[in-house]
Amino acid sequence: MCEDDFSRLSGNEILGSLNTYLSESDCPVRALPYESEEDMRFVYCLSAVKYILELKGFISLSPLDTQQIIKYIYSCKTYDEGFSWIPFGESHAGLSYCALSSLILLGDDLSFDKERYIETIVRK
């Protein structure tokens, strides 16, 4: 467990920085603050940072649209219950891990067939 109390950090600066990674396109999170790659890996990174900071009680990142991010993740779900890097793509084990982890970190109820998800990931 992280023992740092985060007292050296500025909540407003972190929130401002994270907001620059939000995108107006279909994928709500991008790799860089300007036009760049957008996919599930970056959704996971943002979800993890948000979760850690909120867990430590350091900052509430409520301006981040959690529901928009969750909607995007589900739009990347494939026929085999895995997740792709973008909507309508092919599922991939690593990206499926990023998607599942993001959903958990964002507090989603995981409304999909978890057994089939596991079978898909094992096959990948």
Q: What is the pLDDT of residue 48?
A: 87
Q: What is the pLDDT of residue 83?
A: 94
- What pTM was estimated for this model as a whole? 0.79
CA distance 19 to 110: 25
- The number of beta carbons lying within 10 Å of the beta carbon of residue 75 is 14
CA distance 69 to 87: 13
Q: What is the pLDDT of residue 90?
A: 92
Q: What is the pLDDT of residue 2?
A: 63
State the residue for tokens 């982890």. 101
What are the residue ranges in the chain where pLDDT is below 50? none
- Domain residue limits, the chain: 11-123
**How many percent of the chain have pLDDT more than 70?**
73
